[in-house]
Chains A and B, each alone.
Chain A
């Protein structure tokens, strides 16, 4: 044989690796393999595989999973949104104050039917500010969304002098505890959102524009795909979805607290990246991101069930993020 056999892997054992459809199929769905192995390992933890525990995993994943949808949209355009956790808290607090529940705030007693659309609009507005700064003013998304994350957390605290607001009108909070048979309605809503956005990303012109923008924005521009507008839309949707998650979480716990969802952004980023959404933009799927959410949920609940000291949670979360980013880099090398 000639000298070039050295550069190609010898036929046989590893030849399948060089077929793009097989290799990409494995790399893009790696998350499900990891999830399966993890669950298998967790099956050794006593009392883990029980319906209440698993339902709890799903329910607690709901809020994270909704933020992950918006984050995935931003990541696909080659940007990211660190402000989601603060937008969630700010919108929940905004709604709480408008509806005027218990002191310390006097509240305005506005109907939840008005408050709900208003809080989603506020989320969209904050997303719009992020999107405008990133796409029009060309400021780095890290700086922009870090700033809005800090500002809106601050405003959430100022709003109520750092007090929690509790007890919401039934119309507002009902969705938090409603059940459809054995399954919480929130889980079904999250699932519906995933189906809808998966369709939007994979089958529509908007999705095509997202991938094109993240893949190569100058080319997308030259072909009239308006990358700036796409980035703007992604951030607005991320803000609206964060507000929606704010509604669901505050409805679930029947309270809006100044510190709610603090630190959640890192789980959001980790879930998306573990799920195969690239930090470089233009690559990934919502189905994969959902796998990332479930993996984080499974790990968190396993720590609880196995009685691991909460002091270790941050260490394990940090390592998970490290693992996620490492995996993203490794995948680019393997292709």
Chain B
């Protein structure tokens, strides 16, 4: 066959919310260690696609293969056991909990007492491990016992990113990892993401900022109104063709080209 086996393979995925067709017959692949940019306008279906992979939403039809196996990603926990971590755009941190609690959200280390009836949190271990992860990713935070509601937007995003990256094993999904960040903070976030490639972890990045996407990904996939409109390897992108694919100008030009001879 041609090349390596894809890590994630989605075929003919369809998803509707009432009358809105969020995704229509979408097929999408990610190879091991690859960084893929998923771009498109607001409401194009990017977030829905990511939420299906991370188990928050379920497709109406279509097949998902992970590591060559057909999987049904029922819930976020299952996605995590597969080795998929997600940084959600709108579902990031819980404000009234501290940094450690947020880092270990849904994967709390516990000690079972009374035949598992009571699960006591192993707070100290989680604290140490959180500190190690943040150090490894060079994210500077005063105390990991601080509640996240007192952190700045940049710090919050760094924590959310640190959580996804720190625990990611095979695939990391990043929905707008640089939105709401200052210039320097965004640069730091991109550096962290760039380092993942060296560790052999695949990433899917959603972003409105094409410059950010171009600086870290190998391949770019354009989605518009729930349909994949095309994809390019980063080296093969010509001019502003990605922008015209996003806005639909490329198709319009093609249509017009059929009607009247182009001036160029």
Contact = CB atoms under 8 A, between A and B. Distances in A.
Interface residues of A, number: 23
A205 B97 contact: no
Contact of A219 (B54, B94, B120): B94
A129 interface: no
A203 B88 CA distance: 28
B219 interface: no
B110 interface: yes
A107 B173 CA distance: 64
A211 B93 contact: no
A205 B108 contact: yes
Contact of B88 (A204, A211, A222): A222
B156 interface: no
Nearest to A76: B96
A335 to B, nearest CB: 9
A1 B238 CA distance: 51
Contacts of A203: 120-121, 123
B96 A225 contact: no
B116 to A, nearest CB: 11
Nearest to B106: A223
Interface residues of B, number: 28
Interface in B69-106: 75-77, 80, 86, 88, 91-97, 101, 105-106
Interface string A210-221: 011011101111
Given A203-B120, A203-B121, A212-B94, A222 B101 contact: no
Contacts of B150: 20
Interface in A157-195: none
Contacts of B209: none
B146 interface: yes
B96 A223 contact: no
Given A204-B119, A224-B77, A218 B91 contact: yes
Interface in A213-269: 214-216, 218-225
A214 B101 CA distance: 14
Given A204-B120, A204-B121, A283 B88 contact: no
Given A208-B108, A219-B91, A224 B76 contact: yes
Q: Which residue of A218, A219, A220, A221 has the most chain B CB atoms within 10 A of its CB atom?
A: A219
A216 B105 CA distance: 12
A220 B77 CA distance: 11
B179 interface: no
A72 B147 CA distance: 21
Contacts of B56: 221-222
Nearest to B119: A205
Contacts of A224: 75-77, 80, 106
Interface string A52-92: 00000000000000000000000000000000000000000
Contact of A216 (B76, B94, B110, B120): B94
A164 to B, nearest CB: 38
Contacts of B123: 203
Contact of B121 (A208, A215, A216, A283): A208
Given A200-B118, A215-B94, 7 more contacts: A204-B119, A205-B119, A205-B121, A208-B97, A218-B91, A219-B92, A282-B95
Interface of B: 54, 56, 75-77, 80, 86, 88, 91-97, 101, 105-106, 108, 110, 118-121, 123, 146-147, 150
Interface of A: 20, 200, 203-208, 211-212, 214-216, 218-225, 282-283
27 contacts: A20-B147, A20-B150, A200-B118, A203-B120, A203-B123, A204-B110, A205-B120, A205-B121, A206-B119, A208-B97, A208-B108, A208-B121, A211-B94, A211-B97, A212-B94, A212-B101, A212-B105, A215-B95, A219-B94, A220-B105, A222-B76, A222-B86, A222-B88, A223-B105, A282-B94, A282-B95, A283-B96
